[in-house]
Structure 1
Amino acid sequence: MTKDVEHAAPEFSAKDYHDPPPAPLVDFDELTKWSFYRAVVAEFIATLLFLYVTVLTVIGYKHQTDTLHGGNQCGGVGILGIAWAFGGMIFILVYCTAGISGGHINPAVTLGLFLARKVSLIRAVMYMVAQSLGAICGVGLVKAFQKSYYNRYGGGANVLAEGYNTGVGLGAEIIGTFVLVYTVFSATDPKRSARDSHVPVLAPLPIGFAVFMVHLATIPITGTGINPARSFGAAVIYNQEKVWDDQWIFWVGPFIGAAIAAFYHQFILRAAAIKALGSFRSNA
């Protein structure tokens, strides 16, 4: 009887979730599949729509509060409305594209998932290119539709606000992106999904809320980048010296934040390093 229980015990201690195998570093087979190109197109269109709606919101708010041109200083959607526009669009677009491309819509998210071996190098590079081009096209549409307002109100471009030094801006981007990418990992963790299966969690919702909350905190500092494609697309179309001088902050900061989030989730929370060491010892 005791022996039977001992033999049966492993069945009850087995994992009730499945970790997908690490993505290959370079997977040339992806280049032969339509699903790969479909995912790249989905990232392009999603980022285009994201920039179109959010930059229009920013410019519309500035126009509505511009007292020199008939606006009302207390009008417009306010900082809260801008934050909702960014967070809401991420929620919508991640929900729409998660089953096709994973719903990255952000080179920093793509980098974090690449470092965690969730996507291959080829997919990561192609996603980043598609996201950047989509952002340029999205902001280009805004300028085409509202050229006078676009030029007058700064094109929705990210710059370091007056009164803040480079270190503060870089720190805001690092921490803000850490919050976002950490949320992405947590919301899509198969272990969490199995453990909390009685509590249905729609992954795009916490991701959208993370974007919303970070915008509330950092709009006064950098205008909130946390997405290199968003900052790059606005910089390319607006094309002013100050924007390009600060552009590196909106790449270096998000990439550092994403890398820290990937390390924290994979090696601290999921204890990947300890598991690898245990596997090595058992094999020895």
Structure 2
Amino acid sequence: METRTVVAEFIGTAMLVLFGVGSLVLAGDYINALGISLAFGFTLIAIAYAFGHISGCHINPAVTLGVLLAKRIDIRTAVQYWVAQFVGAIVGAAVLFLLANQVPRLQTADAFGSNGYGGRSPVGMGAGGAFLAEVLLTFLLVFVFLAVTHSVALVGGEPIPVGLALAAVNLIGIPLTWASVNPARSFGPAIFAGGDALGQLWLFIVAPLVGGVLAAVVHRFTHLHPAGQADQEEAHPPPATGPWGRLRGGHRPEAGGQETKGPEAA
């Protein structure tokens, strides 16, 4: 295990929860869904530039699952990332909880930025609709991530489209379920919200993971060459530079042919 990659995932996820969910909890009375969505997107972009070259900046278990299925990391690395992400989400939510308790009459403190369906959905969306929405929104996010971090993609600007994708899915998802698309993002706040937030948490863990699987399958079909066909990136590998340089060759494949480290986020 490379300790710094796990630490990067831990810190990155904690920051995403603190600043992303924090925009909803602390500033929800003053900004609308657009402001909250932009806070998530800008936070992700900043974190990706800070940690993308270290861990790949997945900061989202669904992204890590997609990267695993794309064979950019091995199962051991994926498990380490998942543990770091969930622990980071709890720590980020704990810091946010302490801050929220210092604000008198905070209207959004009860739900604490947790996700929900039925009576906990802003539009009253049921479990089936919420599940479908989370699958589709997570699919978009993870697919964009896999596509722009593909080794033939333009080097250097990857965090921007991924951050914009996160902002877009939040803008659509906030009125429906408060927008999860990230099991860790849902897990941390639910721990402190308790009650129905914990009872409904399963959906916001399972649905994003399904979306991540779907994104990996579609990405394999659209971006990877059939077996036996020459691959442009093998013939002309791009430089291992940019925020997500680890995925582009900063770590060469081992003898077995798989990369042991890789990037990604959300």
After TM superposition, is the score higher than 0.5?
yes
The reply on whether 1:127 has 2:81 as its aligned counterpart is yes
Q: Cα RMSD between the aligned structures?
A: 1.8
In structure 2, the residue matched to 1:111 is 65
Local SS of the residue matching 1:191: coil
Which of 166, 169, 176 does residue 127 from structure 2 map onto? Answer: 166
1:83-110 per-residue CA deviation (whole Å, 9 max, x = no partner) reads 0011111111111111000010100000
In structure 2, the residue matched to 1:61 is 27
Kept after mapping to 1: 8 A contact 2:9/2:58: yes
The 1:150–1:227 alpha-carbon spacing in structure 2 relative to 1, beyond 3 Å, is farther
The reply on whether 1:269 has 2:222 as its aligned counterpart is yes
Local SS of the residue matching 2:130: helix
The equivalences for 1:1-40 within 5 A come to 31=1, 36-40=2-6
How many angstroms apart in 2 are the aligned matches of 1:126 and 1:204?
A: 23
The reply on whether 1:89 has 2:51 as its aligned counterpart is no
Kept after mapping to 1: 8 A contact 2:134/2:211: yes
The 1:146–1:163 alpha-carbon spacing in structure 2 relative to 1, beyond 3 Å, is closer
The 1:264–1:177 alpha-carbon spacing in structure 2 relative to 1, beyond 3 Å, is same
Kept after mapping to 2: 8 A contact 1:59/1:153: no
* Residue type of the alignment partner of 1:91: I
How many angstroms apart in 1 are the aligned matches of 2:214 and 2:228?
A: 20
The reply on whether 1:175 has 2:136 as its aligned counterpart is yes
The reply on whether 1:207 has 2:162 as its aligned counterpart is yes
Local SS of the residue matching 2:85: helix
1:162-197 per-residue CA deviation (whole Å, 9 max, x = no partner) reads 52111110111101111111111111111233xxxx
Asked which structure has the greater CA Rg, the reply is: 1
In structure 2, the residue matched to 1:25 is none
The reply on whether 1:141 has 2:95 as its aligned counterpart is yes
Q: Could you tell me how far 1:150 is from its partner in structure 2?
A: 8.0
Q: Could you tell me how far 1:277 is from its partner in structure 2?
A: 9.1
* Residue type of the alignment partner of 1:142: L
- Give the structure, 1 or 2, with the largest relative contact order (CA under 8 Å, sep 6 or more): 2
The reply on whether 1:230 has 2:182 as its aligned counterpart is no
How many angstroms apart in 2 are the aligned matches of 1:38 and 1:252?
A: 28
How many angstroms apart in 2 are the aligned matches of 1:207 and 1:192?
A: 13
* Residue type of the alignment partner of 1:232: F
Which of 172, 179, 203 does residue 217 from structure 1 map onto? Answer: 172
The reply on whether 1:154 has 2:120 as its aligned counterpart is no
Identical-pair percentage = 34
* Residue type of the alignment partner of 2:112: G
How many angstroms apart in 2 are the aligned matches of 1:276 and 1:253?
A: 34
Kept after mapping to 2: 8 A contact 1:87/1:208: yes
Local SS of the residue matching 1:100: helix
Q: Could you tell me how far 1:123 is from its partner in structure 2?
A: 0.7
How many angstroms apart in 2 are the aligned matches of 1:210 and 1:122?
A: 28
In structure 1, the residue matched to 2:209 is 255
Q: Could you tell me how far 1:271 is from its partner in structure 2?
A: 4.2
The reply on whether 1:102 has 2:59 as its aligned counterpart is no
Comparing 52-61 and 205-214, the one that deviates more: 52-61
Q: Could you tell me how far 1:213 is from its partner in structure 2?
A: 0.4
